[in-house]
Structure 1
Amino acid sequence: MGRWEPNAQERLTRAALELFAERGYDSTTVAEIADRAGLTKRTFFRHFADKREVLFRGEEVLSRLISDGIAGAPASATPLHAVGAGLEAAATAFGPERREWSRQRQAVIADNRELRERELLKSTALTAAMADALRERGVPDLTADLAAEIGYLAFRTSYARWIEPADEQDFAELTRRTLKELREALGAVG
């Protein structure tokens, strides 16, 4: 592949994931990623701050999709139903073409403490985005925080189900199913 070809960010992402799987995250350098993609280190750093960010690109887009979905929920929606609307809006980022990449990504993250910590920061940011979007709807602070925590639990559970090889449901359906199960569990507790 020539250095002038388009889709540099996608090429770098694919190359990084391949190398992380082959050699491990810690044993892979930015120079190797760029070389595998047929690009320069300089091009790599135009797209990513460091090699870790290859695995976490799109975090801001995901937060925005969820926040916009919550904001667009009907005014009569309960906080959990608004969160459900946010998670369904985020499903557009989880098309079938991303499933295998996401499986590989999660395997790399699971094998590295630093990446697991970064994943926790991502979870905190997504939860905060949900809570903020709920507050914008006039939901009281504590209720917004609790609904956002439940929302992140639903997101995390749905994502884990979505990357399972045996589960081929789309992400939106999985979020609906997971939220239904969480509501049932909460009803059983109350």
Structure 2
Amino acid sequence: MARWEPGARERIVVAAVDLFTEQGYDDTTVAQIAERAGITKSTFFRHFPDKRELLAAGQETLSRLLAEGIADAPAGASPLEAVAAGLTRASDEMGPTNRELGPRISAAVAASTELQERAVLKNVGLAAAMTEALLARGTTDPVAHLAAELGVLAFKRGFAEWSEGDRDGTDHLAPYTLAALADLRAASSSLG
């Protein structure tokens, strides 16, 4: 096994998702993931503190992209227009691997209480990053929190629809997340 092969992090995630799909999250060990990825256990631990963190891979990057998109939105943008800019920035970074793994990761999360708890924490982190970016733009606290929560929900809904869609299509994620945000905006207006 090579110690520093390029792409080790992605190979670890793919190997883990494959094993979670085949035998379940609870029955998959770090040693099995490392073996499937063609790395050592110590290399696994250089990339991830434990197997639970595998399914949160990229959370920091996603939070950063969402926040950067919000920060870079035009000065006169409304809070939801800024969130849309964040969704676009983050969505533009999602590629075929994200699309392929999405449904399998969702299935692994649905089958494990531990992973469901981790997914909730991930959503909290994404909302916090967007809230901070909106507050930095001068958005009031309650509006920033609400817009950020809508952004998280739009990303989740858009990603689910995109990843379940036509695998050989060349469509991008951004239209899905933006459509989900528009739907949520329309739905919120009917709350009264």
Worse overlay, 159-168 or 21-30: 159-168
- Map 1:161-172 to 2 at 5 A: 161-165=161-165, 169-172=171-174
Partner of 1:183: 185
Q: Provide the secondary structure at the position in 2 that maps to 1:27.
A: coil
State the alpha-carbon separation in 1 of the partners of residues 150 and 101 from structure 2.
26
Partner of 1:30: 30
State the alpha-carbon separation in 2 of the partners of residues 76 and 146 from structure 1.
19
- Map 1:1-190 to 2 at 5 A: 2-4=1-3, 5-165=5-165, 169-190=171-192
Instruction: Extract unaligned runs of 5+ from structure 2.
Output: none
TM-score by length of 2: 0.91
State the alpha-carbon separation in 2 of the partners of residues 15 and 164 from structure 1.
20
Partners of 2:135 and 2:144 within 8 A in 1: yes
Worse overlay, 149-158 or 23-32: 149-158
State the alpha-carbon separation in 1 of the partners of residues 16 and 94 from structure 2.
20
Q: Provide the secondary structure at the position in 2 that maps to 1:73.
A: coil
Partners of 2:15 and 2:37 within 8 A in 1: yes
Q: Provide the secondary structure at the position in 2 that maps to 1:93.
A: coil
TM-score by length of 1: 0.92
- Letter of the structure 2 residue corresponding to residue 107 of structure 1: A
- Same amino acid, percent of matched pairs: 51
State the alpha-carbon separation in 1 of the partners of residues 97 and 6 from structure 2.
19
Displacement of 1:166 in angstroms is: 5.2
Partners of 2:69 and 2:86 within 8 A in 1: yes
- Letter of the structure 2 residue corresponding to residue 175 of structure 1: T
State the alpha-carbon separation in 1 of the partners of residues 150 and 141 from structure 2.
14
Displacement of 1:186 in angstroms is: 2.8
CA deviation digits over 1:7-42, x for unaligned, max 9? 222222221111111111100111111112222111
State the alpha-carbon separation in 2 of the partners of residues 3 and 122 from structure 1.
32
CA deviation digits over 1:106-143, x for unaligned, max 9? 11111111001100000011111111100000111111
Figure out how many residues of one structure are paired with residues of the other and give that number.
189
CA deviation digits over 1:74-113, x for unaligned, max 9? 1110001101110111102322332111221111111111
State the alpha-carbon separation in 1 of the partners of residues 107 and 93 from structure 2.
19
